[in-house]
Each structure stands twice: as C-alpha cells, then as structure tokens.
Amino acid sequence: MTVHPGRFAGRKAVVTGAAQGIGLEVARRLAAESADVVLVDRAATVREAAAGCGAAAVLADLETYEGAETAIAGALEKLDGRIDVLVNNVGGTILAKPYEHYAPDEIEAEIRRSLFTTLWTTRAVLPHLIARRSGTVVNVSSIATRGIHRIPYSAAKGGVNALTASLAMEAAPYGIRIVAAAAGGTDAPPRRVARGPAPRDEREREWYRRIVDQTVDSTLLKRYGTVAEQAAAICFLASDEASYITGTVLPVGGGDQG
C-alpha cells in the first residue's frame, strides 16, 4: 500500500461494509493518511477491525433506513459532529446463477444488499452535508453491470451508477461531490462472514466458474485486482486531488469498462 501521509489530515470519514475486504482496506488507508475514521458494519467483527486501524466502529444494518440513520448518527457522535467523506461500500453478490433460476425473494435480497444500502446511507448523511455545504460521497459500484450469472446484483450496481450521476447534479450547488469506483474482480482475504451460501453442487460451482472466467476474459490485464488497488482508487476519489471530479463512475477493472 502506497500511503500519502497527511492527505486526509483533519478530515472525518465513514466507511460502510468495513469489517473486511475492500471496505476494511479503504478504512486502513484513510486512517494511515491521517483521517479520523468510523467503520460501519452489521457484523460484530467490525469492532475488532476498527481497533486494528485505530478507528471507531458503529454496528448497524444498512439494509433498512432506520439502520442507516443509526449509522450516521453514531458516526457523527464519534466524529465530533462532522462527516467529510462517506464511502458506501456495502454490497456484493449473494448468489451466482443464471437469472431464470433466481426466486423472487432472492432478487429482492440482492437489491436490498447492493442498492438500498447505498440509497439509505446517502439519504441519511445528505442533510448534514448540505447544511455544511461540503463533503464527498464515494459509492463502490461494479463492472458487473456487464456480466453474467448475477443479474440482480448487476441491476443494483447499475442503480448505484445512476444515483451517482443524478445526485451529483443535485448536490453540486452545495459543494458536495458524488462519485463512484466500479470495482472489477478482486482477490481478497477469506471472508470472515460469508455473503451467501457456498455452491452446493457441481452445477452451482460451474455457474460460479463462468463468472470468474468471464470477469478475467473481459479485462485487458487478464487478472483479478487486489484490495489495495481498489482502495487506492476509492481514496483518490475521496481526496482533494479529485476536487474537480463529480458524477463520474471510475472503472477499476483492469481495462474492463463495465
């Protein structure tokens, strides 16, 4: 990890879905670059993760608006009443299979996980940012907006992209930037809390293998990225170095544009 010391000095940041994976790496980098950081997750392991990077933690389920309000209120309390940066990282494919095999409740679960979490948390923080007439929201999207075997997740991330573009127009007069990083396939440490059930049989394993093959084949670099590579792009978008960027979805997928 290449650290830019002091880049976020004096800044207050909130990272959701931060108990593991990309979210935890973003939180670590922000803290290493002098931000005061609050990690938000519904997994109790977020407390241990926060302690590991000298940050604070809030336990909340962002799939409900009440959970998002709890998260933002808790973060404001821990950050002395101010939030400068929100990184909406919660999301991820729960199931991997052709669309005709999804049950209606499974489709709804994917949308709640990967779209509503971003909608709710952004809505909860927005009045605070408007009152302060400043702030940056970085949404973590995905290049899976063009991909197979996770159509509800792809649709959810397409919604995140639309939110980013449209809300940037509304928020700009208040000095607020809304941006997104569309993550490609990423090698991450083994998850301590699984996103969904593991493949149960050879058919389900083959469906997942096809996602991996399609993801790699669609990249120019022919590999997965790392959590550090994803965090670098997210933290750039959150920083003053990106002060003239808003409404933009930055693909971070080895050349796959999503």
| pLDDT at site 197 | 82
- Token pair, residue 211, equals 């996602």
Whether the Cβ atoms of residue 180 and residue 156 lie closer than 8 Å to each other: no
Annotated catalytic residue within 153, 208, 224, 244: 153
| 99 found inside a domain | yes
Whether the per-residue pLDDT at 147 is higher than 80: the answer is yes
| 1 found inside a domain | no
Whether the Cβ atoms of residue 51 and residue 36 lie closer than 8 Å to each other: no
pLDDT confidence bin for 196, thresholds 50/70/90: confident
| pLDDT at site 190 | 78
Least confident of 8-17, 187-196, 245-254: 187-196
Total number of domains constituting the chain: 1
Count of positions (residues) in the chain: 258
| 196 found inside a domain | yes
| pLDDT at site 188 | 85
| 205 found inside a domain | yes
Nearest to 33 by CA among 1, 2, 3: 3
Whether the per-residue pLDDT at 194 is higher than 80: the answer is no
| pLDDT at site 77 | 98
| 257 found inside a domain | no
| Token pair 């999804």: residue | 102
| pLDDT at site 189 | 80
Average pLDDT over the chain, rounded to whole? 96
Catalytic status, residue 174 = no
| 3 found inside a domain | no
Whether the per-residue pLDDT at 31 is higher than 90: the answer is yes
What percent of the chain lies above the pLDDT cut of 70? 98
Q: What is the mean pLDDT of residues 185-201?
A: 81
- What's the predicted TM-score (pTM) here? 0.96
Q: Give the model confidence (pLDDT) of 209-253 as tens digits.
A: 999 999 999 999 999 999 999 999 999 999 999 999 999 999 999
What percent of the chain lies above the pLDDT cut of 90? 93
E runs forming strands in 169-237: 176-183, 186-187, 225-226
Whether the per-residue pLDDT at 118 is higher than 80: the answer is yes
Whether the per-residue pLDDT at 1 is higher than 70: the answer is no
For residue 136, give the CATH number of its domain.
3.40.50.720
| 6 found inside a domain | no
Q: Give the model confidence (pLDDT) of 71-82 as tens digits.
A: 999 999 999 999
| 5 found inside a domain | no
Q: Which structural domain range is residue 199 located in?
A: 12-252
